[in-house]
Structure 1
Amino acid sequence: MNKLVIFNLPVQDLDKSKAFFSALGFTFNPKFSNANAAYMNIVDGSVHAMLSTEAFFQSLIGKPVVKAREGNEVVICLSCESREEVDSLIAKAVAAGGRTPHPPEDNGFMYDQGFEDIDGHLWNLVWMAPDA
Structure 2
Amino acid sequence: MSKMIFINLPVTDLNRSMAFYAAIGATNNPQFTDETAACMVMSDTIHVMLLTHDKWRHFTTKPIVDAHASAQVLLCLSADSKDAVNAYVEQAKANGGKADPTPTQDFGFMFGRSFEDPDGHIWEVMWMDMAAASAAMQQGAA
TM-score (norm 1): 0.94
Q: What is the CA distance between 1:12 and its match in structure 2?
A: 0.4
Q: How many Å separate the matches in 2 of 1:124 and 1:2? A: 22
Q: How many Å separate the matches in 2 of 1:109 and 1:2? A: 27
Equivalent in the alignment of 1:32: 32
Moved more, 52-61 or 111-120: 52-61
Equivalent in the alignment of 2:9: 9
Q: What is the CA distance between 1:105 and its match in structure 2?
A: 2.3
Equivalent in the alignment of 1:53: 52
Q: How many Å separate the matches in 1 of 2:18 and 2:122? A: 16
| Other structure's SS at 2:59 match | helix
Q: How many Å separate the matches in 2 of 1:84 and 1:103? A: 17
Indicate whether 1:128 and 2:118 are aligned.
Answer: no
Equivalent in the alignment of 2:73: 74
Aligned partner letter, 1:109:
F
Residue correspondences, number: 131
Q: How many Å separate the matches in 1 of 2:113 and 2:5? A: 22
Q: How many Å separate the matches in 2 of 1:102 and 1:11? A: 21
Q: What is the CA distance between 1:123 and its match in structure 2?
A: 0.4
Equivalent in the alignment of 1:22: 22
Q: How many Å separate the matches in 1 of 2:39 and 2:105? A: 31
Q: What is the CA distance between 1:59 and its match in structure 2?
A: 2.3
Aligned partner letter, 2:71:
N
| Ranges in structure 2 where 5+ consecutive residues have no aligned partner | 134-142
Q: What is the CA distance between 1:97 and its match in structure 2?
A: 1.0
Who wins on radius of gyration, i.e. which is larger?
Answer: 2
Q: How many Å separate the matches in 1 of 2:105 and 2:73? A: 20
Runs of 4+ that moved beyond 6 A: none
| Ranges in structure 1 where 5+ consecutive residues have no aligned partner | none
